[in-house]
Structure 1
Amino acid sequence: MTEADLLLVAAKELDAADPLAGFRDSFLEADGVHSYLDGNSLGRPLRATSDRLQDFVRHQWGGRLIRGWDEQWLDLPQRIGDALGAAALGAAPGQCTVADSTTVLLYKLARAAVAARPGRTEIVLDADNFPTDRYVMEGIARECGLTLRWVPTAYDGGVTAEAVAAAVGPQTALAVFSHVAYRSGYLADAQAITAVVQAAGGLVLWDLCHSAGAVPAQLDGWNVDYAVGCSYKYLNGGPGAPAWAYVAARHQEEFSQPIQGWLGSADPFGMAQGYVPAPGIRRLVSGTPPVLGMLPMQDMIALVAEAGIDAIRAKSVALTEYALTAVDKLLAPHGVVVASPREAERRGSHVTIDHPAFKAVTAALWEQGIIPDYRNPSGIRLGLSPLSTSFEETYLGIAAITAELAR
């Protein structure tokens, strides 16, 4: 048997033994797609979500009309936040909420953190953080007269506690890092890095966009100050779904809301003159909750809770280990290099591989119903969403990349 044959046999055996395999039936299939390896950018929709959306339009929105706000819609951001905190984030109730986009929440949290550290002049972040994180911090630094201090990172790695320790100091107001690096998939030691920043007197804001729902977090246990994440990757909330934010209970009463809106006020329907912030996590809210956008999140959060985040992580590790083996055997002979950590404990749920031809290869693959993710300058990300991706699907994607390079 060839290497490819052996890898396919192994994939089928792994799928047969996979305790989470049954969850794949919960997701809608896309016509003509044979291998979807982009769940780290946009997760597949759940079958339950289609039913939920139709039911909402017909019975809740259509049936209850404006009464729905008082009956349940106004409470949705906190209810969903608490459910997410329990299922995937290690956060006790009252510290998570759903609101706005990741970009807006990054601004709110970072601006509040800077205000909570008056007299300090620096924001620390890594040079390979996601562009939005960098751009928002650039804007806040310009707005507040602060300096950005950059932490260097390895191309196939990410931010480490040692590198952060060399960057923070008495002028550090805030440090902003990603739990899983968007390009390399590097999984940061959030607990150790948080402790380093806090020892210097600064606050930490973690971006969990590329980990929430696939990699366990312990925001309370790690003593995190603030966290934010999107909901359309491993949380399968759909394109443009609202983001979520975490503010540790100890910071909530000092949280200075930079975008003061009516629903974040203490008495929204009092319509009083002058803004008074709401108690607790609700003060993070600004405007009317995006109710329609929040509906799909509930189905995936429930699925994560049912499967268990630790079991999901075990499947993620197994998928990425299999992908690395297949890359080494099939793609390395064509000059493909791995640009992600090989140590499972330092890797999220996607693997990045590099080759100069990958931009053209990706376009050709999409035409065949093989959907990986391309990232400049020359990387394909193999996004392996644990509950919806099979080992055989992973094999088919890597085999198709091999065939395109062989052409």
Structure 2
Amino acid sequence: MTAQTEAGQAPDLLYSEAEEDLRAAVRSLLADRADAPTVIARTESDTPYDPELWKALATGIGAAGLLVPEELGGQGATHREAAVVLEELGRSVAPAPYLTSSVVATETLLALGTPDGPVAALLAELAEGRKVAVLAVPFAAATVAIGSLDGVLGPVADAAAADVLLVPTADGLYAVATDAPGVRVEPLVALDLTRPLATVTLDGASGTRLADADAARRAVDRGLLAGAGLLASEQLGLAEWCLTETVRHTRERHQFNRPVGSFQALKHRMAQLWLEVVSARAAARNAADALATGSPDTPLAVAVAQAYCSKVAVHAAEECVQLHGGIGMTWEHPAHLYLKRAKADATAYGTAGRHRETVAALMELPAP
């Protein structure tokens, strides 16, 4: 049963039994299909996405439809459960379009109002894992980016894995199939190879109009807000893996006949990182709970989570590389994947600085 809070009550930051069961299922799947050697090998190939992994995650576990109501073929769960999935994806940095499709695109469609017609049909396909949709706005966008059905859009995260593009234009929101005439998706060389970017060129393309301009703007804003809020959970999972792996390594690595983790200077660094990760967990869980319960403080909770968690993820990844010594600097070790993901996430859906400005505006404080 999903934990819920009522307006005026303190948010529930604890994990429910159902959420822990979901975590165990996702972690087991990723350990089997997306361990470090597998992810490294895929990022060095031309096919970073594993269709079988996505099928197992989306349909086998049912993660793709967590936010979709049951009457549309989804699980009828909340952002809290989706946050758990993203924590585990952050721990493995698996190349999977979950954040972009199952959260941002899905939330955008749900925000259009009572789903019917093409919106309901697309939501059902996303929930069943039969299609992947991405919002065709720059990955670093924090607000609606107005495009058109004739031009170049991007860089768009996970566009290479998408079947459908949600394109906000001055005329409204359109669903455009990536294999339609006049649509070209061109991969880019991105910092984070586990979440590929691409430019999308629309040349006389046509699509299905899903909403008018005003409804599209509100829906895309909601999708980006949910994306920023749950991105904090991905950053939390990433930071937790970096801390756990670093503690394990410093216990096993010996110098002067002692574990290097017993040296006081390293103890202090890892203790500080542990405190940051614990605080990041509280911020990320608060944002997920606010989204799940429709709290009026959701914009503030999301801004606080992103302003804090992005910094913690980068710090944890940097410490992971440094405290692993020479091996941490090699391509064979996965530490570099976590550092690149953390750096890329730090600019996704708004930088930490921009979110701090949001906090200042919402609290009527002088901007930093």
Structure 1 or 2: larger helix share? 2
Q: What TM-score do the two structures reach when normalised by structure 2?
A: 0.29
Q: Which has the higher contact order (CA 8 A, sep 6+)?
A: 1
Q: Quick check: which has more Rg, 1 or 2? A: 1
Q: What TM-score do the two structures reach when normalised by structure 1?
A: 0.27
